[in-house]
Amino acid sequence: MSDIDNAAAASAPAEAVKHRSWGRRLAAITTILLAAGSAVALYFNIGQPSKGSVTTAPPPAPAVTVSAPLQKEITEWDEFTGQFAAVDYVEIRARVSGYLTEIDFQDGQVVKKGDLLFVIDPRPYEATLAAARAQLAHATAQAELASRQLERSSELRKRDFEAVSNYDQRVSELRVATATVEGAKAAIRGSELNVEFTRIKAPASGRISSHQVSVGNLVSGGEGGSSTLLTTIVSLSPIYFNFDMSESDYLAYQRATAQGKMRSTRDNSVPVFAHLTDEAGWPREGRMDFVDNRVDRNSGTIRARAVFQNPDLLLTPGQFGRIRIPGSEPYQAILIPDAALVTDQSRKLVMTVTDDGTVAPKIVRPGPSYENLRIIRAGLDPSDRIIVNGLMRARPGAKVTPQPGTIELTARAN
């Protein structure tokens, strides 16, 4: 065998191995393509059902929570911001001049009516009082002498031993002496007042301010505004609460009172409630005390006032607070949560659910809020079922699946 034949014989097994390897690869590729084709065919068979197949059922109606409006007997309240003020505010001023010798209180303490506050040196006024008493004694002696002389002159005149002119002179002397006595008594009363004014006492009960003059200073007295201011006192219990209401609010109260729907705000028995800025609820109860006689034309408001007891002396004149006063007499109201209201341009709607599960909108007229709910003036019946949760899933005229819920009244924290 030649070399060529040997080489050919040697390469024959290698070519056979090569052909077998390509065959296996081709078989694997064919299998993959067939599987892919089956998957594509299966996909399109599922995505496009054949003619005559049954369509799927529509989704169920969305679930919403419904409830009947809450009915409750309520009293509407109007709230205002105001300021506490003292019933009595007194400026303590000196009524006589002199040197201040005593201060008988601690700055800021609570004093009672009649407590001694200041003492002005009384000695000059005591001396004046003593002189006035001596003048009274002198005048009294002169009056007694004139009286005895008149008696003698009267006896002589009866016997015609005394001239008429002399008798008249005795009468005049007695009258002058009597007037002098009265003048001396008046001087004594004035001197006694001056001595009393040297001891300055509290004219009202309340909390006293700091003293404006120290011991040893000369204070000026008198009845005018030039007298020295020593301190001030403000009463604490009871205490006023002043607030301003708008002209429209005042007019609404007047209309309601004229129609007999509520008591007048000028009635001192109308209850009101207040709280301070750090208090929850309305813990302080008082009553209306005063409404002014005119509306301020600059601000368009009218001043009103309530009075509160202050047994713990926590309320201080000048503090700010909130007050609420009755805006109506008690009545049966329809209440719903604010979340159940829908705004449609200028209208307010409430979505209701009929017996067959259809959403039916109703136009309502809302009133003010009460606690955590909204008062509905008109447009709702107590038997309506309103959607209180799930409004985003409700469309007018569409079907829904109503689920029962409740509307609860919760006191609002302030």
For 168-222, the pLDDT digits (tens) are: 788 888 899 899 999 999 999 999 999 999 999 999 999 999 999 999 999 998 8
Residues 306-322 pLDDT 10s: 999 999 999 999 999 99
What predicted TM-score, i.e. pTM, was given to this entire model? 0.68
Q: Which two tokens stand for residue 115?
A: 């407590």
The two tokens of residue 320 are 């700010």
Band of pLDDT at residue 8, cut at 50, 70 and 90:
very low
The whole-number pLDDT of residue 224 equals 65
pLDDT range class, residue 225, cuts 50, 70, 90: low
Asked if 243 and 308 count as a contact pair (C-beta separation under 8 A), the reply is no
- pLDDT band of residue 33 (cuts 50, 70, 90) is low
What CATH number was assigned to the domain covering residues 65-71+332-404?
A: 2.40.420.20
Q: What is the DSSP string of 170-213?
A: HHHHHHHHHHHHHHHHHHHHHHHHHHHHTEEE-SS-EEE---SS
Architecture of domain 90-234 in this structure: Beta Barrel (2.40)
Q: Cα separation of 307 and 356, whole Å? A: 56
> Where do the domains of the chain lie?
1-52, 65-71+332-404, 77-87+236-326, 90-234
What is 77-87+236-326's CATH superfamily? Efflux pump adaptor protein, beta barrel domain (2.40.30.170)
